[in-house]
Amino acid sequence: MTIQDLLQGLPYQVQAGSDTSEITEVVYDSRKIVPGCIFICIAGTERDAHNYIPDVLEKGASALIIDENHIASTKIMVDASGKNITVISTENTRKALAYAAAAQYGHPAGRLTMIGITGTKGKTTTSYMVQSILEHAGKKVGVIGTIGAIINGQKYKTANTTPESFELQRLLSLMVDAGCEYCVMEVSSQGLKLDRVAGFTFDIGVFTNFSADHIGPKEHATMEEYLYCKSLLFRQCRVGLINCDDPAYEGITKDHTCEICTYGLNEHADLRATDLELMKKPGELGIRFHASGLLDCDVTLPVPGKFSVYNALCALMIGTKIGIDSQTMLKALSGIHVKGRVEIVPTPGPYTVMIDYAHNEVSVESLLSTMLAYQPHRIICVYGGGGNRAKMRRYAMGELCGRMADLSILTCDNPRDEEISAINADIKVGLAKSNGKYIEIEDRRSAIWHAMDIAEEGDLIILLGKGHEDYQEIRGVKHHYSERESIESYPGKKSDRL
């Protein structure tokens, strides 16, 4: 392809050579240079690819795309190399990478119905609800998100919830090749901030909710920036489906360029839920509600909580916009289960065990508040904390669980480079504030087995933090670990095993 073909629609300037030059490949990792390629210089949080230009030229790159702030320094390096190459400058090289990736893979998003879901919580569950609805309607669909990418039943691991643009376009191309008609993907604030989804338009954009998260040196500087980045989705989609009950409603729709439709419990929502009813029996928790507005039907979900109602409303609205009939959607939702998200796992006793990914203050408080509404006999929380992460998160986890649960069993999560005992010591600081009862069992499987040993009829055991993850990261090594496998391998009460 020519450089013109790759960057069609993107403003740029030719600093040297010609944009009609043909290139062999698009590369943004200096270790993967091949002769005749174009190298896109990305300035990351730790490394600036502009610094590798001499090495890149030596390896045979024939063209460069640089940030316009590096024109002078690039000229010096190119002149010093003595190479006759093409140099393209642009305001945003990440956006250039997204455009070039889309072009190299033949603009696959244009051959799919693209559904993008953003929000602090609910993205994964909603995406799998939508997948279930589409598949029940006989549609072929690919999914990209926190759990990875799934195409025709095959799972692909991804480094981020929203993959880097080049990897994203490769996955979309695989979906097209597999005959998929739809792509349902989680669109993170980082993905929007770093232009990973630039270069195409979503058919449907979705906002689930907004709360404090992802604030830090390598993420977002402020809550205002975090919200702004999420709002960018609604300048890049044709139809926006918005949770109008969320306080961030106005902020998320500011400067939008799409048609807006709303869902929620609000009587003015385009699709709204009323008559919420909790469902409960040993080993099963769920909720029923009536949907009205765009639809008029009763909905039964085998997953608990008011947040599940919002996720289901969103999925129903997406299905309605696509043209799926209500009976197909209701059947799909009646059997929905999402790995690691309020996931109920069968147990041998008259109690309930739930796996959930909640690992910060907002998500844990939301989950425990929801579960308390089901009036369990006791709540037993099994959890630890992530290593190399803020201590404040640990204090908050301990204080919340101490106040809202009957017992905390402190154990291992992903300690990374920290000692498990040191992480749990921080959690105890929070537990002390609420006088919460706790015990410590560092081996996570043993901690889960102990919770099951002491469980009484009507108890709810909640395994916090790991969710869908299939590993524990300890001292830089990822060891296989599965919450579900730990539950399924339970050998029976300890008193019976002795």
- Write out pLDDT tens, residues 138-158: 999 999 998 899 998 899 999
Flag whether pLDDT at 284 surpasses 60: yes
Which tens digits make up the pLDDT trace of 371-410? Answer: 999 999 999 999 999 999 889 989 999 999 999 999 999 9
Q: What mean pLDDT is reported for the chain?
A: 93
- pLDDT at position 484 is 95
Flag whether pLDDT at 45 surpasses 70: no
The band of 496, judged by pLDDT with boundaries at 50, 70 and 90, is: low
CA-based nearest residue to 240, from 225, 226, 255, 253 = 253
Please state the rounded mean pLDDT for residues 437-447.
97
- pLDDT at position 146 is 86
CA-based nearest residue to 213, from 400, 426, 363 = 363
Percentage of residues in the chain with pLDDT exceeding 90? Answer: 85
CA-based nearest residue to 353, from 487, 461, 485 = 461
- For the chain, domains (ranges, CATH) are 3-102 (3.40.1390.10), 106-334 (3.40.1190.10), 343-497 (3.90.190.20)
- pLDDT at position 281 is 79
Kind and range of the H or E run holding 141: strand 141-145
The band of 363, judged by pLDDT with boundaries at 50, 70 and 90, is: confident
Please state the rounded mean pLDDT for residues 334-340.
90
Tokens of 380: 């037993």
What does the alpha-carbon distance between residue 363 and residue 356 come to, in Å, rounded to a whole number? 10
* 3-class DSSP assignment, residue 164: coil
CA-based nearest residue to 444, from 414, 418, 423, 422 = 414
Q: Which residue has the tokens 């085998």?
A: 302
CA-based nearest residue to 187, from 155, 230, 148 = 230
Please state the rounded mean pLDDT for residues 74-88.
94
Flag whether pLDDT at 497 surpasses 80: no
Say how many CA atoms lie within 13 Å of 435 toward its Cβ: 0
The band of 221, judged by pLDDT with boundaries at 50, 70 and 90, is: low
Please state the rounded mean pLDDT for residues 91-103.
96
Determine which of 219-233, 239-253, 448-462 has the lowest per-residue pLDDT on average: 219-233
Flag whether pLDDT at 214 surpasses 70: no
CB 40 within 8 A of CB 94: no
Flag whether pLDDT at 6 surpasses 90: yes
Tokens of 390: 């803020």
User: Which ranges constitute the DSSP H helices of 24-159?
Assistant: 53-58, 71-81, 93-104, 123-136
Flag whether pLDDT at 136 surpasses 80: yes
Measured CA distances, 143 to 115, 122, 185, 308, 311 (Å): 10, 15, 6, 19, 16
Flag whether pLDDT at 217 surpasses 60: no
What does the alpha-carbon distance between residue 393 and residue 386 come to, in Å, rounded to a whole number? 9
Flag whether pLDDT at 328 surpasses 70: yes
The band of 121, judged by pLDDT with boundaries at 50, 70 and 90, is: confident
CA-based nearest residue to 400, from 437, 373, 364, 428 = 364
- The answer, as to whether pTM is greater than 0.85, is yes
Please state the rounded mean pLDDT for residues 120-127.
91
What does the alpha-carbon distance between residue 474 and residue 415 come to, in Å, rounded to a whole number? 6
CB 286 within 8 A of CB 300: yes
Between CA 434 and CA 439, with CA 436 as vertex, the angle to 5 degrees is 150
CA-based nearest residue to 38, from 3, 13, 80, 81 = 3
Please state the rounded mean pLDDT for residues 307-311.
95
- pLDDT at position 216 is 58
Percentage of residues in the chain with pLDDT exceeding 70? Answer: 97
